[in-house]
Amino acid sequence: MSNKSLWCAVLVPLLGCSHAYADPTAEKLSRIEGETLLLKARERQLDVQGSILMKQNQIATIQAATSALAHAPGAGDPQVRSVEGVGRAVFATLQLGDGGVIEVQPGDMLPKGMQVVSIAPGNVIVRKGKQRVRLAQAAPPQQQYGAALPAVPAPPPGMPAGAVR
Please write the tens of the pLDDT for every residue from 77-108.
Answer: 788 888 888 877 888 998 887 878 889 998 89
Question: Nearest Cα to 96, choosing from 114, 111, 115?
Answer: 111
Task: For residue 74, give the nearest of 114, 104, 108 by alpha carbon.
Answer: 114
pLDDT in tens, 2-55: 666 655 565 555 555 555 455 788 899 999 999 999 999 999 999 999 999 999
The whole-angstrom separation of Cα 87 and Cα 164 is 49
- Residue 87's alpha-carbon distances to 12, 93, 142, in angstroms, are 90, 16, 31
pTM for the structure as a whole: 0.42
Give CA separation, 113 vs 98, 127, 128, in Å.
16, 8, 7
